[in-house]
Structure 1
Amino acid sequence: MALTKSRLPGLRLSQYPRLSIQLMAIGLVITLAFILAALFAPLLQSWGWLQNPTEGLANPIHQPPSAEHWFGTSRQGYDVFSRTLFGSQAALQVVVLATLLSLVIGVPLGMVSGYLGGRLDRVLLFLMDTIYTLPGLLLSVTLAFVVGRGVWNAAIALSIAYVPQYYRVVRNHTVSVKTELFIEAARSMGASTWRVLTRYLFLNVIQSVPVLFTLNAADAVLVLGGLGFLGLGLPEETPEWGRDLQQALDALPTGIWWTALFPGLALTLLVVGLSLVGEGLNELIDPRSRQE
């Protein structure tokens, strides 16, 4: 019946400011470039076009950018260009896993909590609010000490900090939607709780989830960089922008700028790209943003 349809607004690009569409397109291009780098870096290495990012060179000492080493080499003899490309692979793996884990946990909890209410809702709300009040980096650092290094471990440490955000957004939407006429009609016709949640509520309460996903992904890139900088992210042999930045600190006072510039620039660009995509999605999905 008509009342069961999602209340998501129609997405006609002509309705939105051209600048917003352009910025979102720029964000998509930047993000896609890092995705392609992550996908094709191993293939380029197998063809001999990239150095092994975990093996030093025969002449390792801080070679500046050149035709042979586009981004120069580090103190350990690593090719910075290769480390930067492979760093995008590690970053995207952890970030995608972390945001998916937090989404898969937070969205169902928010729907069940908001729909059922009662003691379960109060307990979950208290728990999520408690986690939400903790700084994300501090919480991730603490969890990283507990779970240790590794892609999955870093993803788990990051995801715990984002679960409350999905929970709060979805719960608030569920509380407002569950009093709608089509929900009441479904219940009066004998629809089970599971059927109401999956068929009638789900599409109506996930409007902000894509925006939250991309913005959390941008934040997760920064937090992962912080963990790597502190030596708590991925194993030492894994190319990681945060660790490369930490190892480049000692060389900066001596004028060795390239070992810090390129990993830092890659991290910044990926954050900017994901943030632009998130803000663009927000304008496409939220009608109120068009009225401001």
Structure 2
Amino acid sequence: MTATKARISKFRPSLSLQLTIIGFIITISCVLIALLAPSLQSWGWLQNPTESLINPIHQPPSSEYWFGTTRQGYDVFSRTLFGTQAALKVVILATSLSLVIGVPLGLVSGYLGGKMDKVLLFLMDTIYTLPGLLLSVTLAFVVGKGVFNAAIALSIAYVPQYYRLVRNHTTSVKTELFIEAAQAMGAPTSRILSRYLFFNVIQSVPVLFTLNAADAILILGGLGFLGLGLPPEIPEWGHDLRLALDALPTGIWWPATFPGLAMTVMVTGLSLVGEGLSEIINPKMRRSRND
């Protein structure tokens, strides 16, 4: 019996792996909700998130309105589900833009060095020192509302993170023997960057991408709460929290509770995925935690 228990415990997943799996389940569920929300509405299973129901204003959660209704007569359940779609659109676009800009800049800057490296490093460090929410709010004032505009406002804050990560890895890898051998053989700079350096410095980028996505959801919620995120006709959690704030003192809790919970769940799922990927990519971190 003891040997059997030992074999079973040997194959039991660690706590970090369990949390990572939970994070993946939460994240995939959010993606499925975002993809299926329009179909559920067309099938009549969801109310129109932008259409006021007029009569059932501030109705508490019930069998007819699962999450209740708002002061404006909107169905909270429908707006919460469609808010997932809006959040994913902006966050994926924002993190992708920052990755596409930051990774090549970090590669070129770290490999070539010189004055360009110093100027870029100074610029990125300056942007990096600014709080993400403050920078996004400032940019949102400039570019205005909209999915793409909100993504631009968010992405600028994350470009320095990709730049610094890739640049630091590049400066350490470019002194390796295989890079020196490629240089001695006359390989062009573009080939060294794309074939030899890129795949050796990109390992930690997925971790940063996931953690930035979780952070971007919170910043997008902050922009929506301040009225600077998406247009009012697009369901968005931060905007809904702003509209529900006045009703909280009167005991009407549901218009604010469910969008807030949705935001928390999505951020938690992405954070768990990011932490799990970090331990997979950096086994030394996993060993140090287990010691």
Question: Same fold by TM (over 0.5)?
Answer: yes
Among 17, 22, 25, the alignment partner of 2:21 is 25
The alpha-carbon deviation at position 17 of structure 1 amounts to 6.4
Match of 1:222 in 2: 218
Aligned mates of 1:15, 1:287 — CA distance in 2? 18
Equivalent residue for 1:6? none
Structure 2's unaligned 5+ residue stretches are 1-9
In structure 2, the residue matched to 1:63 is: 59
**What TM-score do you get using the length of structure 2 for normalisation?**
0.94
Secondary structure of the residue aligned to 2:65 is: coil
State the match for 1:90 in structure 2. 86
Distance 2:220 2:71 in 1: 23
Runs of 4+ displaced beyond 2 Å: 14-17
Paired AA for residue 68 in structure 2: G
Q: Which runs of 5+ in 1 are unaligned?
A: 1-13
1:255 paired to 2:246: no
For 2:236, the equivalent position in structure 1 comes to: 240
Could you report, residue by residue, the CA deviation over 1:59-94 in whole angstroms, capped at 9, with x for unpaired residues? 132000001000000000000000000000000000
Aligned residues: 279
Equivalence for 1:279: 275
Q: 1:119-198 alignment to 2 at 5 Å?
A: 119-198=115-194
Change (3 A) 1:216 1:231: same
Deviation at 1:244, TM superposition (A): 0.4
Q: Equivalent residue for 1:104?
A: 100
8 Å Cα contact 1:35/1:92 also seen in 2:
yes
SS in 1 for 2:228: coil
> In 2, are the aligned partners of 1:84 and 1:241 still within 8 Å (CA)?
yes
Structure 2 vs 1, CA of residues 17 and 164 (structure 1 numbering), >3 Å: closer, same or farther?
farther
AA matched with 1:59: N
Q: Which residue of 2 aligns with 1:49?
A: 45
Partner of 1:81: 77
Counterpart of 2:71 in 1: which secondary structure? coil
SS at 1:70 equivalent:
coil
Q: Give the Cα–Cα distance (whole angstroms) in 2 for the partners of residues 58 and 206 of structure 1.
A: 52
Contact 1:16 1:284 (8 Å CA) reproduced: no
> Cα offset for 1:271?
0.4
Asked if the contact 2:54–2:72 (Cα under 8 Å) also holds between the matched residues in 1, the reply is no
TM-superposed CA distance for 1:251, in Å, is 0.5
- Structure-2 separation of matches of 1:17 and 1:269: 23
Which amino acid counterpart does residue 34 of structure 2 have in structure 1?
Answer: A
Instruction: Tell me the residue number matched to 1:291.
Output: 287
- CA–CA distance in structure 2, aligned partners of residues 211 and 160 of structure 1: 18
Moved more, 53-62 or 217-226: 53-62
The one of 103, 112, 117 equivalent to 1:116 is 112
Paired with 1:188 and 1:27, the residues of 2 have a C-alpha distance of 46
How far residue 15 of structure 1 moved from its aligned partner, in angstroms, is 11
Render the CA deviation track for 1:32-79: whole Å, top value 9, x for unaligned.
111111000000000010000001104132000001000000000000
Q: Give, in whole Å, the separation in 2 of the partners of 1:51 and 1:238.
A: 14
- Displacement after TM superposition at 1:291 (Å): 2.3
Distance 2:170 2:12 in 1: 27
Q: TM-score, normalised by structure 1?
A: 0.94
Task: State the SS of the aligned residue for 1:171.
Answer: helix
Identity of aligned residues (%): 78
Q: Displacement, 1:287? A: 2.2
